[in-house]
Amino acid sequence: MQDRRPYKRQTVEKRRDDLIAATLELVAENGVQGATVRAIADRAGVTPGLIRHYFASKEALSRTAYEVLMQQMISDSAAVLSTAPDDPVARLAAFVAASISPPVVDPISVGLWASFLHDVRRDKEFRDTHAASYIAFRDVLQDLISKLPNRANARALRQDAIACNAVIDGLWLEGSVYPEGFEPGEIVEIGLRSVGLLLGVTLNFSAPRALQNESPT
């Protein structure tokens, strides 16, 4: 008979967070198919039936885990704004650099994102979750762009944010999947120059070593 982990009394929030963390760990290790209800419960130290107490279904848990993943990357990108200068160009540069540097650039995160893509395509609620996270990131970017001089046209602002987001996404993907293909700091350099060219500004950002584009481990 298989040994069971001892039951531990925890708060609702902690138990819910443990289930989300277990889901992400298992998807990272074995793909979506490996994150079964039983495997998630075992990893989180609960019975499979208890999962239904926190989530209506396995699909609801997966959507929440994906939402948490995306929100964390947005938070990691925006965290630099709390210490960035007031200058609009400098703030935009800091955000772009953070969005294409560790911990946002990370092979595990991009692997998780890729694993969930099938569900994004086939499931409307999953797609809505994806859309919400995409728009949330784009809104931060659009707000930063709007603070630049001569940015009054709302349609142009939206399109600029979409174009800059596409550059950031591409570099995030390549930097996470193939970090050894770039020199230290090169992805940040490319990102700042490319976004700057799109917007007609010069973006410079002297990051601490922790924000340089190094090969994630």
| Residue with tokens 């911990």, as numbered in its chain | 103
Do residues 75 and 17 both lie within one domain?
no
Residue 213 pLDDT: 42
CA 14 – CA 17 distance, rounded (Å): 5
CA 113 – CA 183 distance, rounded (Å): 25
Do residues 36 and 132 both lie within one domain?
no
Q: What residue type is assigned to position 41 of the chain? A: A
Residue 101 lies in a domain: yes
CA 202 – CA 194 distance, rounded (Å): 10
Other C-beta atoms closer than 10 Å to the C-beta of 22 total 22
Do residues 15 and 88 both lie within one domain?
no
Evaluate whether 77 touches 136 at the Cβ level (below 8 Å).
no
The beta strands (E) that lie in 40-148 are given as none
Whether omega for the bond prior to residue 184 falls within 30 degrees of 0, making it cis, is no
pLDDT mean by block of 10 residues, the chain; 217 residues: 49 89 96 94 92 92 96 97 95 98 96 94 94 97 96 94 98 97 96 97 72 44
Q: Give the DSSP letter of residue 148.
A: S
Residue 13 pLDDT: 85
The CATH code of the domain that includes 70 is 1.10.357.10
